[in-house]
Structure 1
Amino acid sequence: MPSWRWLLHSSTPVLPGLPDRQAEMRTGGLYWLACESPDTADRLCTQLLMSLPASARALLVNAAGASRDLVKAIPDDRGPGHLTLFDLPAMSPRRMIQAVRQDVPRVRGGEQAIWLIRVPHKGWDELVAESLALWCSRAQDWLRSVGSTLLVVGDTPPPALLDILLRHNDNISGLAQVYVAQGARHLLVHFWSNDAGVNGPHDFLLLDEGNGFRVSPRPEDDNAAPIANDQRQVLADTAVLAGEAPPTAQWQLFDDPDALLERGMDAQAATVIFALSGTDDVNALARRLYQLRSHCGRAVKLVVREMLQGLRQHEEQLLLASGANLVVPLGTPFLRFLTLVRSIQGHRWQRPMAAEPSALLARLQPLQVRGSLSPRAFAAAAKKMADNTVGTEVRHQLLRLQPLPTLTPAVVLQQLQLRRYGDIACIAGDVPYLFLFACSPSLVDAALRNVFRLPWQDVLAGYESVLPSQVLSMAQFQSDESAPVDALVLEPTDAQPDVEAFRPLQPQKISLQALEARQ
């Protein structure tokens, strides 16, 4: 029985590097790939189709968008010789499972073919477990009967879904997951069954090379390496103690970060701790960390302790990507700080090392632009910033704003006060858009409170978070016409972090007259 080599086969131009035992799909098999974001899922679907030989027959079912969007980047001389496209409208997970279960076996030309089904994973929880298990069982029976192979590619899986799929592994031939951790994208193959047998879990780095992904083995601990004689030594900036006494005699303190760097260059497995006094020092500290990590290797432990101003998300990721094992947040009690330092003893730094630090600085910092732009300039800047941080834990928000019925898009932009570099706005097709650099989904409401001069609910009826890859290529973003009203631009020094403000309650005196007046 023949087996299909999927998107991770080492001999194809797509994601080279994965061993064959995790690269082949057997005929009659149902495989599942869960990705951390819709953009990654879409790109992997496109790469899979592009890597198929001209002799292959493929069918694409897209329940997460338009199929044509996934294939428009495939050159005419690449991809399968026969490709059939299907779109499914948005529907609940149960209805979608039922629709696929009923409709897929009816499609003509599905024999001896590779099926690719792209799905959104939102709402896939324990309530869909029974329907999903039944579909997987029937799908494998049908695939075997027609000599075909099926790969499901989904995005943003809830934890319950992976548990469900692992629980029903008898009805699934393979399960893999793309996730982001410690600033790097990973491919975790939970299990993979093919003609070579069943392969257990294995974690790979998934590297983004701009025009495609490839996999790389994770840096492994060198068990044969001798234990360094300085592994219990701590070299630290005096400021990290915040007035406390050194915990042990093995702590050596330095008042000058350059002196700490010079001494740290001799470290083998010691712990080197830097104090970060403000965000103005982030870039210089990132370069010091990179120097140490490049020179001393993976066994040295590099720690950063925030002392004054809170870091933004992309700045923390910059420090971690430059070589830090740990960034201790502002406000961490001293004893907790010492516990965190002890917790990384014996660890080796596992991230991929950049070729040189300036590339990291360029990737993880916003463009020096803010305020309202023309649609074309907005799209170019937003895409550039989104592309720069692919593969990191930095998340941006592209919001389609919905003004109140009484307000025009121009009035909405007039109410914006964009302080931070990377926060930009535009009006495209009479619709206002807002791009927030390094803003996680949980902080969107807090960010909107910061960027609107009025409470944002007094300006907007709502907003919708959209994917740059699905929106910025639309025709309305090809205009060079500037917005009729510019968003207010403030100096970056006036920027406030996008965090919830929790203030301690204070007792207040109130007279009975005032209370009666309020009634």
Structure 2
Amino acid sequence: MGPVFSLGIRPLWAELSHMPAGGIWWINTDRKQDALSLLNATLAEQAPDARCAAVVMDKTDLEQITLAANSGPGKVSLFTMPGQIKALQAFSSDLIRNINPEHFFIILLLSEKIFENVNNSELVSWLTITSRWTNAHHASLLVLNPGNSLGKQTARLMGEYPRLSGLADLHYQSDQHRYSVQWWCSDKGIAGRSQVPVTHTENGWEVLTSTDTPPQSYTDDQRILCQTDVLEGAPAFSEHWVLFSTSNALFEAARSASAATVIFSLSQVGQVERVARAVHSLRLQRGSALKLVIREKNPCLRATDERLLLGCGANMVIPWTITLSRSLAMIDAIKSQVFHQHVPRDFDQLINSVRPLSLKGLQPWETFCRAINDLLNNPLIAFDSKGVLVAMRPVAGLRAEQALTLCRPNRTGDIMTIGHGQIFLFLSFCLINDLDKALSRIFPFPVADIIANRTVWYEDKNIAAQLVEMGKSSLGQLNQPLPQTSGSQDAMNIHYNEQGWRREPQPVTLLTGNPQDP
């Protein structure tokens, strides 16, 4: 019987961590630092006599592969390879020239976004060839794939059983991680569809002890605590309803509730952060049985504000367009609901995750590109929902600098820059179907009268690719200044026979004679 290798997460069940000889196990991660730390922790879990190798696509990653004293195998073979699909296709043939892969445990750390421009047929072909190679040599291959599009990469591989012996992802959640297993073949059998909360500490990766309590009955599950203006002037509907005139009074009463329904009211943008902080505190202090609802009274919530409220622990946000009768039906439908979503404890970090851009208006070229790139690399923001990038070319006869004076974004997070005769505008958290409406508010005149044509990028991978192209431009090529006007001319003089004299204005009478009486 061949050796069995273990994943570097303690104390994870053997069904979700063991990797017997022969097969490919694949783990997608949100962040590269998580993949590197998991690589080190996995190497440290192996036996002293284990035959191990690590292959990376970035030479700088070799410096971060470390083992603590008295842990892991006595020797680890380290290799580097180019971060290209052609190099990956030659992976098995190149590796066998350097080591005898018999009963070897190989960890392959991919470069970020290596599969962005690779079609599924190429990926399936590589998995087929490599799977046969590992089975023929009784080798175990663990592939760590870091990248922001974690969900998309996992979806691409969902149909690759049995080419893959295991598929999982490690999702970053601010103050902890979620290890989600789609399927995992081990010496104990096959396990699938499991989620385990884990965290990274000084001692490596560890499974978090569950704090969930068994279901219990509550005495206040029919009680509804509500702000007065939510009911639009109507009285309490029954003895279960308790009305409060302010959100502070409602918050203080909800601090002693266990399973009641708490309904906050929102009328203006300035109340969002205060209500979000109250929802966040109640969710962490009173548990998952409490139902937290926010009803929007006026059109004041943006998509980022709604995402913030839901991330803080709200069960539901009712838009202002929903009538009171329908709102009551929606509230009644969640009375038996239990909140299972993870809520980070750091409220400030939660706010920064949904409002990461504190910039507005015109920005230098490098600042513009760097701000958008940082936003794309934020793993706390949903995939393909970070915003829209628009390149706009003005109509003939209008320079980009002139059109720029008409582009007036008022929302924080909407930034623009200029280069190559175009205006580049990034609208953070804007949906593609709302683009025309947003542009009509940014420009004071009809957009068609100012912009001749435009190019739009709204998917994360397309925006990232365009940023790479923009980064190749030198600063000297970006903004050529307007041509200087000719120097000031002296007053016109008349020269004749080397004599010059200045023209003097003479009065002219347009009407002659006495005006006639009507």
Please give the per-residue CA displacement for 1:59-97, whole angstroms capped at 9, x wherever unaligned. 45xxxxxx54xx6466366497522223436xxxxxxxx
CA distance 1:190–1:292, shift in 2 (3 Å): same
Alignment of 1:93-492 (within 5 A): 103-109=90-96, 111=101, 112=104, 113-116=106-109, 119-120=114-115, 136-146=127-137, 147-151=139-143, 153=145, 156=149, 162=155, 165-166=157-158, 168-177=160-169, 186-205=178-197, 221-223=212-214, 226-243=216-233, 246-378=236-368, 381-382=371-372, 390-393=379-382, 395-397=385-387, 399=389, 401=391, 403=393, 410=401, 413-427=404-418, 433-440=424-431, 443-444=434-435, 446-452=437-443, 454-455=446-447, 458-464=451-457, 465-467=462-464, 471=468
Asked if the contact 1:207–1:391 (Cα under 8 Å) also holds between the matched residues in 2, the reply is: no
- Residue 25 (str. 1) matches residue 15 (str. 2): no
Aligned-pair identity (%):
23
Amino acid at match of 1:239: D
**What secondary structure does 1:285 align onto?**
helix
Alignment of 1:63-82 (within 5 A): 67-68=57-58, 72=60, 75=63, 78=66, 81-82=77-78
Query: Aligned-residue CA RMSD in angstroms?
Result: 4.7
Displacement of 1:322 after TM fit?
2.6
Asked if the contact 1:314–1:438 (Cα under 8 Å) also holds between the matched residues in 2, the reply is: yes
- Residue 88 (str. 1) matches residue 75 (str. 2): no
Asked if the contact 1:423–1:437 (Cα under 8 Å) also holds between the matched residues in 2, the reply is: yes
**What secondary structure does 2:292 align onto?**
strand
CA distance 1:101–1:361, shift in 2 (3 Å): closer
Q: In structure 2, how many angstroms separate the alpha carbons of the residues matched to 1:31 and 1:439?
A: 37
Looking at CA atoms only, which structure, 1 or 2, has the larger radius of gyration?
Answer: 2
Q: In structure 2, how many angstroms separate the alpha carbons of the residues matched to 1:328 and 1:412?
A: 39
CA distance 1:49–1:295, shift in 2 (3 Å): closer
Amino acid at match of 1:285: V
Tell me the TM-score normalised to structure 2 length.
Answer: 0.69
CA distance 1:357–1:58, shift in 2 (3 Å): closer
CA distance 1:231–1:294, shift in 2 (3 Å): same
Asked if the contact 2:25–2:164 (Cα under 8 Å) also holds between the matched residues in 1, the reply is: yes
Amino acid at match of 1:139: T
CA distance 1:400–1:229, shift in 2 (3 Å): same
Displacement of 1:417 after TM fit?
1.6
Counterpart for residue 57 of structure 1: 53
Please give the per-residue CA displacement for 1:189-219, whole angstroms capped at 9, x wherever unaligned. 111112343223212357799x9x9676596
Alignment of 1:7-22 (within 5 A): 9-10=8-9, 19=13, 21-22=15-16
How many pairs were matched up? 447
Q: In structure 2, how many angstroms separate the alpha carbons of the residues matched to 1:214 and 1:477?
A: 43
Tell which deviates more after alignment, 227-236 or 114-123: 114-123
CA distance 1:31–1:77, shift in 2 (3 Å): closer
Displacement of 1:5 after TM fit?
4.4
CA distance 1:403–1:365, shift in 2 (3 Å): same
**What secondary structure does 1:114 align onto?**
strand
Structure 2 gaps of 5+ residues are: 45-50, 68-75, 483-518
Q: In structure 2, how many angstroms separate the alpha carbons of the residues matched to 1:437 and 1:148?
A: 43
Tell which deviates more after alignment, 315-324 or 76-85: 76-85
Displacement of 1:284 after TM fit?
1.4
**What secondary structure does 1:170 align onto?**
coil
Tell me the TM-score normalised to structure 1 length.
Answer: 0.69
CA distance 1:362–1:181, shift in 2 (3 Å): closer
